[in-house]
Amino acid sequence: MLEKFIKSTIKPVLLIGGLGTALAGLNAFVPIFAVENVQQLDWVPSYTIFVQHWGIMVFLIGLFMAAAAYIESWRTPIILYGLIEKAFMVYLVVSNLDASFSNGFYIPATMDLYLTIYFILYFVSLKKNKSDNN
């Protein structure tokens, strides 16, 4: 049953989740706008390289997630990386809930929480499928 659920939902989850994740690319290409309007933080010019580097890395994982919707051989490594990255993002936001600087991250952390749960289910389904085939 879990395998059927994953098989029927993997493409839209990776495509929509990947495109949502790729929106962080705004930090790479329009960093001042993204930091002030998306993350709701004050712009600190000395953080330019960090913000843009983070933005391109998250943009790329989003792009690779979307590609993995159609390139099956990419799925497991991309989903593993995405699981680690997204679970850590959720941890960071939850552990800083009392800090005002986390306010702009609630929506992305919520999406990342759902994707983390889904990615765990993906790996459970792989393990279950592997044990069923033995």
Block means of pLDDT (10 residues each) for the chain, 134 residues, are: 95 97 97 94 96 97 98 97 97 96 92 98 87 66
Counting Cβ atoms within 10 Å, is residue 20 exposed (0-12), middle (13-18) or buried (19+)? Answer: middle
Report the C-alpha gap between 67 and 77 in whole angstroms. 12
Residue 85: predicted pLDDT: 95
Residue 27: predicted pLDDT: 97
The pTM for the full model equals 0.89
Residue 128: predicted pLDDT: 75
The answer to whether the beta carbons of residues 61 and 82 sit under 8 Å apart is yes
Report the C-alpha gap between 131 and 122 in whole angstroms. 14
Residue 127: predicted pLDDT: 85
Residue 134: predicted pLDDT: 60
For residue 85, what are the contacts with CB-CB under 8 A and spacing of at least 6? 58, 61
Amino acid at 125: S
Report the C-alpha gap between 120 and 123 in whole angstroms. 5
Report the C-alpha gap between 116 and 88 in whole angstroms. 10
